[in-house]
A and B are shown apart, each in its own frame.
Chain A
Amino acid sequence: MPARRGILDLAQTILFALILVLVPICLYVIFAVVPTESRMGVIQRIFYFHVPSAICAFLGVGVCAVASALYLWKRDRRFDILAHAGAELAVVFCSIVLISGPIWARPVWGVWWTGEARLTSTLVLWLIFVGYLVLRGSADNPDQAARWGAVVAIVGALDVPIIYKSVAWWRGLHPRVLKATGGQGLDPTMERTLMLCMLTFVLLFTYLVIQRWRLGRLQDEVQALLHTARRGPAPAARA
């Protein structure tokens, strides 16, 4: 165990250092280097936050769904804690997508909100995983929270592509925002900036998942200690 903990510590330190370096670079590139998009203007720069957040939101959903399936299979608490961490981050990054999307849409499309397929699907996804968190909070014990959460997470994750498809058909497909802007695809500087931001966000996401997972493990330890304190030391097997 100490060896594992050491590796996690090291990974976290490295990630933290990388993020510390990359975030200022990203900000500098976004606001000082990359050219302003010709038709949309300055507001287009919000996409260097918006798109990576969307990627992280989907990563969170993926982590949550896979960890949930593993939990139901193995019944190992650690998978449940990972699933919970994934869901929380999915909600956080979905929220960023849902806030940055309308801020961009208002000056460009003239409206705060449209039925654009990706934005609407993200809203539905956000609702599902907020429901997941509320459900976990309504369970009587961590065992129920884990089992029920896992079922909802798996259903929710399977639903994502269907939701996207249905919303896209409902509205009719909207123009692809980034592809359309540069005429023939994206300006190379814009593309490199986007890649850099994605890398930074994914590293940040990984760092947060590890952090949240360790917090969950600590919460478990505290719960177990509290239980022992109330009930007395863990009894030995009966002779």
Chain B
Amino acid sequence: MIGPAVSIRNLEKLYGPVPALNRLTLDIAPGEFILLAGPNGAGKSTLLKTLALLLRPNSGSIHLFGEDARQGDRTAIRRRIGLLSHQTFLYDHLTGLENLVFFGSLYDLPDTEGAAREAIRGAGLDGRGDDLVGTYSRGMQQRLAIARAFLHRPDLLLLDEPFTGLDADGSDRLETHLRGVRDTGRTCVLATHDLPAALRLAGRVVVLAGGGILADRPASSLPASELEALVRAAARPGTGPGALR
């Protein structure tokens, strides 16, 4: 039997005296595509940062692929996590290829150069790999950013508002790409305000409020209108987990 990809128990993160995550418990099975929904300040980005090992929680436990992410080998876990956000992470003054080689080298890939060239081709950037990223169009940068996030073939993909700032075309392309990723059996956690697109991708929806879980349902049983109502309800003061149970 395969254990959960992500296992969070009573996770607590305080910003000073104020909790951002409030004893949150969540399991994610391998291959699941989770949508994290909720209003601003509900704890979406804090949870995502915790999963990305960018943030040290105050208490509780977090296991990624069965490995303790607080005391265990964080470097080994990092190899299996990828992050794609609405920011590209790319350096304008490096070429597309140099960007991928730089990040690939940080992951110590066996054939960084080859992997980078292949990724450039995969992103449809043939012939532009040796141009500075600063000269790329928004769409090209986005494709390169996606290629960068997948360069080390992460098992867990974290998506932080990836649709923000994209035109309709870019959104469609990203959605298609993410569908492909989902179908390869990778685990994905998507935090976004763009609920309709996210609902088409996600298998399970987790609505956060006040740093805890307000609702946790299969996406198929949750129409967009109902989810939007849930998120609005979560934004009202006094709403915490259990309020709707």
Contact = CB atoms under 8 A, between A and B. Distances in A.
Q: Specify whether A and B are partners.
A: yes
Interface string A204-239: 000000000000000011011001011111111111
B138 interface: no
A41 interface: no
Given A232-B210, A235-B210, A238-B213, A77 B242 contact: no
B238 interface: yes
Contact of B22 (A77, A223, A234, A239): A234
Contacts of A142: 15-18
Contacts of B56: 75
Contacts of A184: none
A141 B237 contact: no
B211 A235 contact: yes
B17 A235 contact: no
A77 B237 contact: no
Given A142-B15, A143-B16, A227-B18, A237 B25 contact: yes
A235 B209 CA distance: 9
Given A220-B17, A223-B17, A238 B212 contact: yes
B115 to A, nearest CB: 36
B25 A238 contact: yes
Nearest to B209: A235
Contacts of A236: 23, 240-242
B13 to A, nearest CB: 9
Nearest to A142: B16
Interface string A74-102: 01010000000000000000000000000
A143 B55 CA distance: 11
B212 A235 contact: yes
A1 to B, nearest CB: 16
B164 interface: no
A143 B17 CA distance: 9
A141 B16 contact: yes
Contacts of B4: none
Nearest to A225: B17
A57 B15 CA distance: 30
Nearest to B16: A142
Interface in B93-148: none
B235 to A, nearest CB: 10
A146 B17 CA distance: 12
Nearest to A144: B15
B87 interface: no
Contact of A233 (B18, B211, B238): B238
Contacts of B239: 231-232
Contact of B14 (A143, A235, A237): A143
A224 B10 contact: no
Contacts of B14: 77, 143
A212 to B, nearest CB: 16
Contact of A234 (B15, B19, B243): B19
Contacts of B17: 77, 142, 220-221, 223-224, 227
B191 to A, nearest CB: 19
B41, B210, B212: residue with the most chain A Cβ atoms closer than 10 Å: B210
Contacts of B16: 77, 141-143, 145-146, 220, 223
Contacts of B10: 237
A77, A235, A239: residue with the most chain B Cβ atoms closer than 10 Å: A235
A231 B210 CA distance: 6
A231 B23 contact: no
Contacts of B238: 231-233
A150 B22 CA distance: 25
A239 B210 contact: no
Contact of A238 (B19, B210, B237, B241): B241
Contacts of A237: 10, 23, 25
Interface string B206-221: 0001111100000000
Given A235-B211, A235-B241, A235-B242, 10 more contacts: A77-B17, A142-B18, A220-B17, A227-B18, A232-B239, A234-B240, A235-B209, A238-B23, A238-B213, A239-B245
Interface of B: 10, 14-19, 22-25, 41, 56, 58, 209-213, 237-243, 245
23 contacts: A77-B16, A221-B17, A223-B17, A224-B17, A231-B210, A232-B237, A232-B239, A232-B243, A233-B238, A234-B240, A235-B209, A235-B210, A235-B212, A235-B240, A235-B241, A236-B240, A237-B23, A237-B25, A238-B23, A238-B213, A238-B242, A239-B242, A239-B245
